[in-house]
Amino acid sequence: MNQRLHSFSQWLQEQHISFALITSTPNVFYLSGFYSDPHERLLALLVFPNEEPVIVCPQMEVEQAKHSGWAYSLIGYSDTDHPWELIANYLKKLALPIEKVAVEKSHLSLERYEQLHAYFTARSVLNAEEKLRQLRMIKDEKEIAILRQAAALADFGVEVGVQTIAEGKTELDIIATIEHELKKKGVREMSFATMVLTGEKTAAPHGVPDLTAIQQGDFVLFDLGVVLDGYCSDITRTVCFGKPTEEQKRIYETVLAAQQAAIAAAKPGAIVGAIDKAARQMIEEAGYGSYFTHRVGHGLGIEIHEYPSMNATNPMPLAQGMVFTIEPGIYVPSVGGVRIEDDVLITDTGVEVLTNYPKELIIL
Amino acid sequence: MNQRLHSFSQWLQEQHISFALITSTPNVFYLSGFYSDPHERLLALLVFPNEEPVIVCPQMEVEQAKHSGWAYSLIGYSDTDHPWELIANYLKKLALPIEKVAVEKSHLSLERYEQLHAYFTARSVLNAEEKLRQLRMIKDEKEIAILRQAAALADFGVEVGVQTIAEGKTELDIIATIEHELKKKGVREMSFATMVLTGEKTAAPHGVPDLTAIQQGDFVLFDLGVVLDGYCSDITRTVCFGKPTEEQKRIYETVLAAQQAAIAAAKPGAIVGAIDKAARQMIEEAGYGSYFTHRVGHGLGIEIHEYPSMNATNPMPLAQGMVFTIEPGIYVPSVGGVRIEDDVLITDTGVEVLTNYPKELIIL
């Protein structure tokens, strides 16, 4: 059994859980290596404390599951089968006492829960999500290698975007060029809707790109990432088209100093909240505290937002193998906004910055 | 109250339901006009049999909800509020007896259900989804106007794609050009991952585009659509790069005749299953029956797949205002595949085809 399944199985043993029914695409992928989104159809990975795991999926995906390296049992079902019945029969053969069952409570729908309940009258239904978040938080060597490559593609995306900037180009023009060049490198999916914002629109942390054209004196903000082999990257850079004002320069230098301070604070044993505070303090001291309206970052991996949540009140100590973003920003309404974001990895002694596009203020 | 809310509210009355808690982005949008995806945060629309509806959303989205035209109550909550508590207090003020509650059972997570359950010990929890699917199935004039425009943009996407075809161009090259030209027209989102497949890859109905380059004699299959004002379009066309073989021509003409037969059969009162059969019969008679491996189409609207499901066993009669795809295909392994797909609207007397890109075999 792979290390991830082994760790999860051990947790089931410790908690005296009869079995776990894992149905979300990211967690099934994490534990099994099989990436599948069968939409309304059931995908399930059953993990036991002392038995081999089994995947339940539509019949037409069975070959793909084997191809992904799954070496254990597979239950394929057709559109006329009842997958819950097949699961019940499988469990009956194992003759396990079913008392505590673990599921993903924020993912399992009430409809699925009622189906489960019709077949298994478990004494209690626990949530497996916290444990899975903790396991996924520490990346292994294979994951880190993919995340490094995904970050390099994000760097390339920003590079293309910066080169594309010209008077009159629209936000959507630039996004199209970035995504085109990434597709040429084989990127099939962005990790979220690519953001290019110009001028005053940069002051909205969740602004929506449209046909607004770039003008002299605009900040241009890029926030983008790719999905590579199931893992996400995420980078933000802000550049200036034409000569920046003194205020624009001050905002930029403050965000950059804050971002560098947060990176400098990141190492094994440092408290998550302290990373947020390292950035926030510099921004507050520069008088922009009320314009830094979000947490300093988020964990990154199979999903674009995972553990750890990099917020001021998180008391968790950082540990080797964690990957997260550091992305302070200052957003001044009707002036503009700056955000600078890197993906970082906690190493045995400190931090490795995975995204490498330059951060000194670029004036075009 | 708008017609949609009114119809839904009436159903609650008939079913003696105390209130409905609607939490999925598409259904909240359909009933309220407010489009919002607050991710892990709660978005809820409460609808009552005899009271005015209320939206519950993060505080930072309250202005956006008003801006979208919502004229009833709004409960905004901050990250330190407990939204369920706010809902409970609101209901307490209404002093309604809470007996039956309706939710979306395939959408509401077990976690949310447990939170709901902690505040309301409803005697029974019903599923509101079937009713909402039925309401959404019949499009009103406003929806039809948007769907027509979305279909025209899909036509344009195929036109760009066909013009881009050239020896050596890759599938991802062509997708990038299509999406770039659509972005120039202000399209921010495709309704699903754009598909361009070439050569033998066209034989996989769910093939994945990559860096495969177009070669002489290839079928090139486009399957794409846009999201416009919250509504989806969906078109498929297949063209031939270079002179087609006799078999390619026969496959193409069979699919085209089948698609036209299905369109001809579509009118108010016709049974859904008969539309599927009209296409399937022509394909079977040409000897390709076993290569038409999916239903003839699907309903289309706020979601890319909605009611009616256009399959052979669906006994539902078509009615004015239904919008769905008609998309038969023939997929012959190691030869190639052809699919032709239009979006159609059932009118008072027959059918209006919304997508209009030419369907005679285009040879480039």
Nearest chain A residue to B174 by CA distance is A180
* Facing B188 at nearest CB: one of A127, A180, A209: A209
Q: Is the pLDDT assigned to residue A158 strictly greater than 80? A: yes
Q: How far apart are CA A65 and CA A76, in angstroms?
A: 10
Average pLDDT over residues A38-51: 93
Residues of A in contact with B103 (CB under 8 A): 110
Contact partners, residue B316, CB within 8 Å, separation at least 6? B271, B272, B308
Inter-chain residue contact B105 with A127, CB threshold 8 Å: no
* Facing A110 at nearest CB: one of B103, B170, B209: B103
Q: Is the pLDDT assigned to residue A60 strictly greater than 90? A: no
Inter-chain residue contact A106 with B111, CB threshold 8 Å: yes
Inter-chain residue contact A109 with B108, CB threshold 8 Å: yes
* Of B76, B147, B141, residue with least CA distance to B302: B147
Predicted pLDDT at A170: 95
Nearest chain A residue to B176 by CA distance is A180
The pLDDT tens digits along chain B (364 residues) read 789 999 999 999 999 999 999 999 999 999 999 999 888 889 999 999 999 999 999 998 898 899 999 999 999 998 788 999 999 999 999 988 888 999 999 999 999 999 998 888 778 999 999 999 999 999 999 999 999 999 999 999 999 999 999 999 999 999 999 999 999 999 999 999 999 999 999 998 888 899 999 999 999 999 999 999 999 999 999 999 999 999 999 999 999 999 999 999 999 999 999 999 999 999 999 999 999 999 999 999 999 999 999 999 999 999 999 999 999 999 999 899 999 999 999 999 999 999 999 999 999 9
- CA distance readout (Å), B158 to A196, B72, B235, B262, B275: 26, 42, 8, 22, 25
Instruction: List, for residues B296-342, the tens digit of each pLDDT value.
Output: 999 999 999 999 999 999 999 999 999 999 999 999 998 999 999 99
Contact partners, residue B199, CB within 8 Å, separation at least 6? B212, B214, B215, B217, B218, B219, B336
Q: To the nearest 10°, the Cα dihedral for B57, B61, B64, B66? A: 40
Q: Which residues of B72-89 are buried (b: 16+ CB within 10 A; e: fewer)?
A: eebbbbeeeeebbeebbe
B216, B177 Cβ separation under 8 angstroms = no
Instruction: List, for residues B92-110, the tens digit of each pLDDT value.
Output: 999 888 889 999 999 999 9
Q: Which domains are seen in chain A, by residue range?
A: 3-136 (3.40.350.10), 141-353 (3.90.230.10)
Nearest chain B residue to A174 by CA distance is B180
More confident residue, B99 or A39: B99
Predicted pLDDT at A86: 95
Beta bridge partners of B353: B344
Inter-chain residue contact A173 with B184, CB threshold 8 Å: yes
DSSP character string of A207-243: ----SPBP-TTEEEEEEE-BEETTEE--EEEEEEESP
Nearest chain A residue to B117 by CA distance is A110
* Facing B108 at nearest CB: one of A110, A125, A209: A110
Instruction: List, for residues A246-259, the tens digit of each pLDDT value.
Output: 999 999 999 999 99
Instruction: Give the residue from B172, B178, B192, B311 with the most A CB atoms within 10 Å of its CB, the best one to mutate.
Output: B172
Degrees (nearest 5) of the Cα angle B173, B175, B181?
105
Nearest chain A residue to B212 by CA distance is A186
* Of B59, B6, B66, B61, residue with least CA distance to B31: B6
The whole-angstrom distance between A127's CA and the closest CA on chain B is 9
Q: Which two tokens stand for residue A248?
A: 């624009």
Q: How far apart are CA A15 and CA B57, in angstroms?
A: 36
Q: How far apart are CA B130 and CA A14, in angstroms?
A: 42
Size of interface A-B (CB pairs under 8 A): 88
* Of A347, A339, A320, A302, residue with least CA distance to A220: A339
| 3-state DSSP assignment of residue B299 | strand
Strands (E), A265-322: 297-299, 306-310
DSSP B2: -
Q: How far apart are CA B273 and CA A21, in angstroms?
A: 36
Interface of A with B (CB under 8 A): 39-40, 103, 105-114, 125, 127, 170, 172-173, 175-177, 179-180, 183-184, 186, 188-189, 193, 208-211, 305
Q: Which residues of A2-24 are buried (b: 16+ CB within 10 A; e: fewer)?
A: eebbeebbebbeeeebbbbbbbb
Residues of B in contact with A107 (CB under 8 A): 109
Q: How far apart are CA B238 and CA B249, in angstroms?
A: 11
* Facing A109 at nearest CB: one of B109, B180, B211: B109
Degrees (nearest 5) of the Cα angle A236, A242, A247?
70
* Of A71, A15, A75, A66, residue with least CA distance to A45: A75
Quickly count: other Cβ atoms within 10 Å of residue A308's Cβ: 22
Q: Which two tokens stand for residue B165?
A: 């075809």
Inter-chain residue contact A193 with B193, CB threshold 8 Å: no
Instruction: Give the residue from A103, A105, A110 with the most B CB atoms within 10 Å of its CB, the best one to mutate.
Output: A110
Instruction: List, for residues A254-284, the tens digit of each pLDDT value.
Output: 999 999 999 999 999 999 999 999 999 999 9
Nearest chain B residue to A179 by CA distance is B176
Inter-chain residue contact B186 with A193, CB threshold 8 Å: no
- CA distance readout (Å), B227 to A279, B153, B189: 38, 9, 6
The whole-angstrom distance between B245's CA and the closest CA on chain A is 30
Nearest chain A residue to B129 by CA distance is A111
Q: How far apart are CA A217 and CA B14, in angstroms?
A: 61
Q: How far apart are CA A353 and CA A263, in angstroms?
A: 8
